[in-house]
A and B are shown apart, each in its own frame.
Chain A
Amino acid sequence: MSDTLLDGGTLAEGCHPTTEINATVNGRKVQRRVPNHYRVIDFVREELKLTGNKEGCGAGECGTCSMFVDGKLIKSCLAPVQKINGCSVETIDDLDRDAGMSLLQQAFHKCGASQCGYCIPGMVMAATSTLRRNPGASRDEIKEGLGGNICRCTGYQKILDAVELARDIQSGAVPASALEEDAEAHSFIGQRTRRLDAPAKVTGAIKYAADMFMPNMLHMQVVRSPHPHARIVRIDAETARAIPGVECILTCDDVPGVDNFGVFIEDQPTLARGVVRYVGEAVVAVAAETLDIARAAVAAIHVEYEKLPSLFDPHTAMHDGAVQLHGFAQNNICKHTRIRKGDVDAALASADVIVEQTYDTQSVEHAYLEPEAGLAYVEADGCVTVQSPSQNITHHRHMLARILGRPINKVRMIMSTVGGGFGGKEDMIYQGMLALAAIKTRRPVRYVFTREESIKVSAKRHPFNIRYTMGLKRDGRIVATKMVMVADGGAYALSTPGVMNKSAILGPGPYDIANVWVDSIGVYTNNTPSGAFRAFGAFQSEFATECHLDLCAQRLGMDPVALRRINLMRDGATTHTRQQLDRVLAVECLEAAIKAAGWDAGVPYRQGQGKPQRNDFNYEGSRQSYLIGGQTQPLVPRASSKSDVHPVKISIN
């Protein structure tokens, strides 16, 4: 059993039946014996250590694992390894062995088509396939060709531009010099300098945490709570401990330091301590010789729970007498931010029209293409090091030092290449377990989340319920704004206090309003914790404000642009928190946007009111509406259109 490990380490051996695979991979003949249950992606990444192609979902949904088998594009996470026996496999690692970067890869680099880069290997493969199939593919055909690949960062536009550029250079319509760097100007600031990390991203050469291997490395898996709220009565890990290859089993009792951490409120243990507060909370961590052994150990650990009453609705959770989820948070209120400016009641009484409405925003998953992953090890000098896509290495280092009870200089965090974050990788939800396991075993330990685990465990965008009252004068002047916002913070605080602040401070929008009342309340529940997410509460509160202004414009019979123009902050404005601003470009932005869009002023929903139609459609910058299949059939509802465009499980025999 340990022979194979000494050979350089295979992911699983021994307990699993194996199969022999003979294939040609990137032009080289390979022959390996691997576990029967391997998929093509496992073979390529774990066995051959070709890590250019990524695994983003393991379920055929994201396209990051796309590679060619006998020239046909497949999602390698869906194909059993046996399918490549006798076949020729092409991965991103070797797409253009001679030139370093293929024409498409160069075009991606030129167009700025990679950001975090995690989707890019799969995108390049899918685009290569599209242009191989039809060198003259139209933009819509290219879109369809990439329809099974998700990119969370770029908005696709620059990716499509890149594929079109490559197509046009290939056909000779555009000279190859279009790939060159823009001529050097008098300044490097302001230039469209190509990204310095892009060549490594478009070729798959850059390493993310899950791409890293170390000699003698262990694999971590975690037992997670199936209950939203329960007391842990007993943990029985004896059977698991007896499995050969299990190197360590961790519970909260193994934490040597102060086991409380969080971004704003230290309310979270590294591993559940006595009680679990949401489905997916980590309870026991295992490090073992192989991933399969770690999984077997997790399955063999029995945790006995006593279920407790749970709270899923923040409004209910705030009631007197509701179950208390954290001792310190009265009525389960995690944070209540107040803005009070002027006299809202008096101003509302003076208004010509009062408009009230309630808005709800949903819980949103970050869906970065790279699931959480990390690699921890103890260096020769005793410094424990964690490499992971942490968005906040400074803070994580401090928290980790406390958890581990070590001086700060004996703790080192290295941010590995981040495959998308958007705020979702600010929380330190697994690095503590990794560091503990590395210290305990004196071996490197790697932990890679599955997509399901990532979705279940990581923080979400706070869902908000927003009650809005606005008073206006007949001419459109806002005299008072009142917002009462209740957000579901989930089981632990994470960034909730900051999110409540930001939603409150910015919520009433960039408008000059004399009388403002905002309550922004974040509440603990037994839902998945909510946390930091791009625009951090302001997305939700400003959404309500901007919808509400449109509703007010409708009520007043005004052009929504005109209503905004009247109220926007100008130079010297005072904000809702009474900060004096000097330069304010809000009006300039509005004018620039409507000029670019060719906005035709008037009330919303003109056609429904028998008024003359808008005349600003088909303006430069809008696209044709999309029809599946070369614009010949009418659009079908999304549910079915999706299965049309996502290549379903491709068989490759």
Chain B
Amino acid sequence: MTFGTAALSDAHGGKVKIGLITTLTGGGASLGVDTRDGFMLAIDQAGNDMVEVIVEDDERAPDVAVQVADKMIQSDKVDILTGIVWSNLALAVAPAANAQGKFYVSTNAAPAQLAGKGCNQDYFAVSYQNDNLHEAAGAHAKASNYSKPFILAPNYPAGQDSLTGFKRLYGGELAGELYTKLGQTDYAAEIAQIRASEADSIFFFLPGGMGISFLKQLADSGIELPVIGPAFSFDQTILPAVGDSALGVHNTSQWNKDIDNEANKKFVEGFEDAYGRLPSLYAAQAYDTANLILSAVEKAGIADHDAFRAALKEADFASVRGKFSFGNNNHPIQDIYVREVIKEGDVYTNKIISTVLTDHQDVYAAECGLSN
């Protein structure tokens, strides 16, 4: 599948070729579809004929992602890779792409390994660092004076980072801490434990279908505790499937559709016009990523690798989040908000209720050898 505004006769001709690898089939495809749609919206709006985008599916499998990336680098001769949703796939692709002299600009996944000692001058995360939203949830729990939250996440690297991130800025006592199986769909056992633990609140990180299952079962169990989570389980891609069970839940995000600035207005309206649905966090991040790349294309030729990198690092683009800049490790310094799940007419969505962290950066930046 090739989208693009330019017909190419030969490999380069000064044009920038972007390989977007994301999950378009199988479980989790909704996130990849939103990533692609957000990215392509920015490209279409810019109408810049110096940019060409190739889109391919990674089927959420690391081996497939690696194969696609190799093909894009070897035969399609892309200059920049982007689009991967999942941290384990990003870890398989990004360092290898960097080693072959290509840029990797992440629309979502930003594992700790690539933010600290393993940072690379050609690797940029536009979204956040993985811990950020969980840290914000911890800070929000503390600010809300919760004294005994029960916390749970799947037992895999991002899940462990999540609970560590929550505890980092919460700092208090816990009613309980649980790791669930990755991909688990039945949470009866965990919910029974939460009920018995006398917790005063619940924090959970269960991305995609896992979160839908958990919330529906929690609502069905009659437990009525305040629930906090990162944006992933309350995102526009899944809220309609959760329904009323999510109403009133507080979740942390660096973006929402009601952030009041020109870029965000253009994005949200453009997305609804083009695709007939509300955009998600993933779409917003991909839109920002595309605009960041476009801003660098305006300033420097891709042939001058160093100049192009410097142009990326400047982050001189209108982010839908408002202010945005990169720290020394090429991860964002940004504000993080608390959102509440609401119903607007028939549509389940979020509204921002407060700013929980201002100009927040990740803790790994200090371990990264790069400078600003």
A, B: real partners: no
Interface residue ranges, A against B (CB under 8 Å): none
